[in-house]
Amino acid sequence: MESTRGSSAGRRSRRGRRLASAAIAAGLVGVTGCGSATAADSRTTLDYWLWEAQQLPAYEKCVDAFEAEHPDIDVRITQYGWDDYWQKLTAALVAGAGPDVFTNHLTKYPGYVTRDVLLPLDSLEATSDFDGSEFQEGLADLWRGLDGRQYGMPKDFDTIAIFYDERMLADAGMTPEDLEGLTWNPEDGGTFEDVIAHLSVDANGVRGDEEGFDPNNVVTYGLGSNGSGGDGHGQTQWSWLAGATGWTYTDAKVWAEEYNYDDPRVQAAVDWLFGLVEKGFMPPYEQIGSSPDPAQQLGSGTAALSPNGSWTIGSYTELDGVELGVASVPIGPVGHPVSMYNGLGDSISAQTENPEAAAQFVSFLGSDTCQVIVGEQGVVFPARPAGTAAAIEAFRAKGVDVAPFINLVEHQYTVLFPVTTHPADVLSILEPAMDAIYIGSRDASSLTQVNQEINSLFE
């Protein structure tokens, strides 16, 4: 009895299965039918992804201008926030469903180059005449792969400077001029630390350089915090300190196979910075959490000096009740200030079905026309000098003098963002180590061991 029942059930389920598969097939036919109808357009459609929402309007204008020049090409812009962007982009590239052109970052592109998901620009007709000298000094080199080919069209660059509130300075009896020409060294912090101490105020109104300052009950910290910096090589946190000692991340400009985190200079700089926590001059890790917001610290009066990247200028200009000023990072032992110099680029996916159209678009993104449009928006500094000039003008119209960001580039007082293979692995080693130093459970000499771990990635 058991067996007959089993077989009848089997027959029934087989019929069911046939029905089900027919239903699914019908559904699929319907869906793919729809899909091909939209694809049967004679125009070429390009997908372009970016993460910076504030720049979206500028790039929409660029796309309009590009489409006017190339009526046969449609560009569709999609924007996702930074975290979502990289998750979606990576998975989409693995699955072969990525965009044709996308905004690329130096922390990510070496990984893409080694996985062969990018097309070199020089292999395509529209971008074959790429000339790196048309961009701000050094930016194009960052996007040259190990094989010497160009994997990104320089888009914009960023540097670090210090934001402050003039009213807070006035309360401390200081003027913006007092922030000019500050010196710093990792031993006693120089005049930079004097200023930070003076701008720190505890709950009783005692300043950091006065008798009786309580470092455990601080209302205003002299220096704002942007976290430990382990997730981005200390770009906004300590790159400008370590760089001002003459230290560089790697010996070779790009594609080095050895990091220099075992250098006593970087370790001294890091120790000095996070030593400020104990002195009550910088917010401790537990106060700012894992997603610090330096603009918020300045706006709320929690911090007086807020070092940050040029791409965040917009977050500062919108702060209410802050008379915004921008100062240069301090002069270090090398005799001048140093900023990290980082650049974004536009890359073409190797999966694009229209590489030539994509190259035409990328070529346009790297042109004066588009970069001036972007510059006029006053959000970032475009990579072409004409675009940079437009941006300086736009920022001036908003009441921000961005000279401290630009001057260091003009004098080449910069340290480049490290471009090496294994970018994600390097940061995954560095981040917990830097966090531990910020928290205070380790000191910067532990970076020697970390450096060994990082360098063993390249063996």
Partner 1 sequence: MTQLQSATGPGAEAIARRGATRDARRRRRPRPSAGRVIAWVVLVVILLITIFPFYWMLRTALSSNSALYSNATSLLPVDFTWGGFARVFGLQSTEEAIAAGGSGADMNFWRYLANSVIVATGITVCQVFFSAMAAYAFSRLRWRGRNVVFGIFLLSLMVPLIFTLLPNFLLIRELGLIDTLLGIMLPGLFMAPFAIFFLRQFFLNVPLEVEEAALVDGASKVRVFFSLIIPMSSAPIATVSILTYITAWNDYFWPLMVSYTDRSRVLTVALGAFQAQSPQGGPDWSGLMAATLIAALPMIVLFACFARRIVNSIGFSGIK
Residues making contact with partner 1 (CB under 8 A): 2, 5-6, 9, 27-28, 31-32, 35, 47, 51-57, 76, 78-84, 87-88, 91-92, 94-97, 226, 231-232, 236, 291, 293-296, 298-301, 308-309, 311-312, 314-315, 318-322
The CB-of-29 to partner 1 minimum distance in angstroms stands at: 10
CB of residue 209 to partner 1, shortest distance in Å = 25
- Taking the least distance from each CB to partner 1, the nearer of 2 and 116 is 2
Nearer to partner 1 among residue 91 and residue 252 (C-beta): 91
Strands 381-382 and 218-223: unpaired
In the complex, least distance from residue 183 CB atom to partner 1, rounded to whole angstroms: 26
Min dist. Cβ of residue 190 to partner 1 (A): 25
Q: Of 312 and 451, which CB lies nearer to partner 1 in the complex structure?
A: 312
**Closest CB to partner 1 among 314 and 355?**
314
Q: Rounded to 5 degrees, what are φ and ψ at 332?
A: -100, -175
Residue number, 272 or 311, with CB nearest to partner 1: 311
Closest separation between CB of residue 229 and partner 1, Å? 10
Q: Which of 296, 354 has the CB closer to partner 1?
A: 296
- Closest contact distance (angstroms) between CB of 10 and partner 1 is 9
Least Å from the CB of residue 25 to partner 1: 11
* Closer by beta carbon to partner 1, 310 or else 451: 310
| Least distance in angstroms from the C-beta of 262 to partner 1 | 27
Of 164 and 311, which has the nearer Cβ to partner 1? 311
Q: Between 81 and 181, name the residue whose CB sits nearer to partner 1.
A: 81
Strands 381-382 and 153-158, bridge-based pairing: antiparallel
Residue 350 contacts by C-beta under 8 Å, 6 or more apart in sequence? 116, 117, 118, 119
The least distance separating partner 1 from the CB of residue 54, rounded to whole angstroms, comes to: 6
